[in-house]
Amino acid sequence: MSAAVCANAPEVLTRIAEPDVHLAIWEAGRPSRLDWLDTLDLAGISDLSFPCALTDLDREIGDGLAEAGYPDGAERDVLGELMADLARRFAAIMGCAEVKVRLEVIRTDACRKFHADYVPARLIATLAGPGTQWIEADRIIEGNPEEIHQMRAGDVGLFKGRLLAPEPAILHRSVPLSAIGGTRLLLVLDPLGVGGGDGMSGVLSSLDGLIPVAVLTGFLGSGKTTTLNALVRSPEMARALVIINEFGEVGLDHDLVTQGHEEMQVEMIGGCLCCTIRGDLLATLRDAPWRFAREGRCWFDRVVIETTGLADPAPILHTLMRDHTLETIYRLDSVIATVDAVNGAATLERQEEAV
C-alpha cells in the first residue's frame, strides 16, 4: 500500500490523519484566474512569513501581499482568497488555532535534498513554476530518477512531518532550479497553536518527539570547553548536534573542531556532529534538521549550544521558547552554568560581565 494518496477533491487532505498516510495530494491544479502569476515580475516581490490567527487571516494576508509588492486589484484579491481558503482547510484538519504562512520566491536550489520536515505536518503548494518533488523513502537509496514524482503548479500537498512520523515514508524536495532555470512561487503552511476542535489536535497535544536542547554557559575560563569535550565523548552524545555560537578565548580541542573560513564547518569525530556558527542562530536551528540530514533523515537527536564566555544566555533561551517555528521542533531541556570553584567568587567581584 502506498503512503501517498491523491484525488481531485479537497477531502483527500483529511486522510493525512490516517496512520499509514504520509502524503495527501489534492490535485486541484491552479485556477485560470491565477495565470497572471506566470508573467508577474517576481524580481520586485518580497517574501512573506508571518504567524496568523484564523480570526485575522483575511486582513493579515491582504496586508502582507500589499507590502510584498503584489499589484493591487482583483488579481491580488484572488490570490489572497486562495491562500486564506487553504489556511482554513489546513487549520481545520490539524485542529490548530494559528498557522504560519510563508509565500516565498525560490530562485536557488533551496532544500535540494530529499527530506522530511520537523513539524507535525506541512502544507505545500507551488503557485508558479515547477512543483515540489517527492519520493518514497525506501526508494531514495536506489537513486532512480523514475521513482521521483512531481506535483503540478496549483496542486496541494499535505506532508506528514517527523513529529507525527519519526520514520517518514515520504520525502520531498524543491526542484533543483540550477539544472532547469526559472523561479518558483511557493506557499507553505505550518500549524502553530493547537485548538480544541476535531482533526488532529489530540495527536498534536500528545506529541513527545521534540528535540531536547541544552544550553552550556559560563564565564571565560570557567570550564565550559572542558565540560563539553567530556560530554561529546560519551556514548549518549553520539548523535548530538553541538552548536558553538562563537569561538571564545578557550576553544574546543583542535582534534574535535577546527576553525576554517567557511560560515559553517562540520567535523565528524567519534560519531559526534559539531558545527561552528557565526551567523544567525535562529536560522541555523530552523535549517538544521534538513541541513544535517542523511538520506533524507535527520541525523541528530539532541542539541547542545555552547555560548561564549561573555554571552548572556537569556536571548538564546528566549529564542528557543518564543519562536513559533522552533517550538514545533525543539524543547529547552536544561541550562548548564559552569563556575570556577577556586576563582569564581573573585571573578564575580572583579568582572561585571560575569554576574
Tell me: do 337 and 192 sit in the same domain: no
- What range does the domain containing 349 cover? 211-354
Q: Pick the range with the lowest mean pLDDT from 12-16, 226-230, 314-318.
A: 314-318
Coil, strand or helix at 49: strand
Tell me: do 227 and 148 sit in the same domain: no
Q: For residues 334 and 200, is the Cβ–Cβ distance under 8 A?
A: no
Instruction: Give the C-alpha separation, 333 to 37, whole Å.
Output: 45
Tell me: do 152 and 259 sit in the same domain: no
Closest CA to 78 of 40, 21, 114: 40
CATH code for the domain in which residue 285 is found: 3.40.50.300
Taking only the tens place, the pLDDT of each residue in 186-211 is 999 998 754 433 445 444 443 446 78
pLDDT of residue 263: 36
Q: For residues 159 and 124, is the Cβ–Cβ distance under 8 A?
A: yes
Q: Which of 184, 202, 220 is the last residue of a domain?
A: 202
Q: Which of 167, 185, 202 is the last residue of a domain?
A: 202
Banded model confidence at residue 241, pLDDT cuts 50, 70, 90: confident
> Can you tell me the mean pLDDT for 145-162?
90
Q: For residues 207 and 164, is the Cβ–Cβ distance under 8 A?
A: yes
Tell me: do 34 and 179 sit in the same domain: yes
CATH code for the domain in which residue 109 is found: 2.60.120
Tell me: do 216 and 191 sit in the same domain: no
Q: What is the spatial order of strands in the sheet that 48-53 belongs to?
A: 4-7, 23-26, 156-160, 121-128, 184-191, 98-106, 48-53
Q: Pick the range with the lowest mean pLDDT from 104-113, 146-155, 211-220, 343-352.
A: 343-352
Tell me: do 185 and 226 sit in the same domain: no
pLDDT of residue 223: 78
Total-model pTM: 0.62
Tell me: do 182 and 330 sit in the same domain: no
Tell me: do 137 and 220 sit in the same domain: no
DSSP H or E stretch at residue 136: strand 133-136
Tell me: do 255 and 325 sit in the same domain: yes
pLDDT of residue 16: 93
What cell was used for 148?
521521483
> Can you tell me the mean pLDDT for 209-236?
81
> Can you tell me the mean pLDDT for 79-88?
96
pLDDT of 52 > 80? The answer is yes
Look at 217 and 158; give whichever has higher pLDDT.
158
Tell me: do 59 and 139 sit in the same domain: yes
Q: Pick the range with the lowest mean pLDDT from 19-28, 172-181, 264-273, 313-322.
A: 264-273
Q: Which of 144, 177, 202 is the last residue of a domain?
A: 202
Neighbour tally for 152: CB within 10 Å: 14
Type of residue at 54? L
Torsion from C-alpha of 247, 248, 254, 256, nearest 10 degrees: -60
Neighbour tally for 205: CB within 10 Å: 11
Tell me: do 15 and 38 sit in the same domain: yes
Mean pLDDT for the chain overall: 78
Taking only the tens place, the pLDDT of each residue in 242-261 is 887 654 443 443 334 333 33
Q: Pick the range with the lowest mean pLDDT from 40-44, 75-79, 100-104.
A: 40-44
Tell me: do 263 and 288 sit in the same domain: yes
Q: How many domains does the chain have?
A: 2
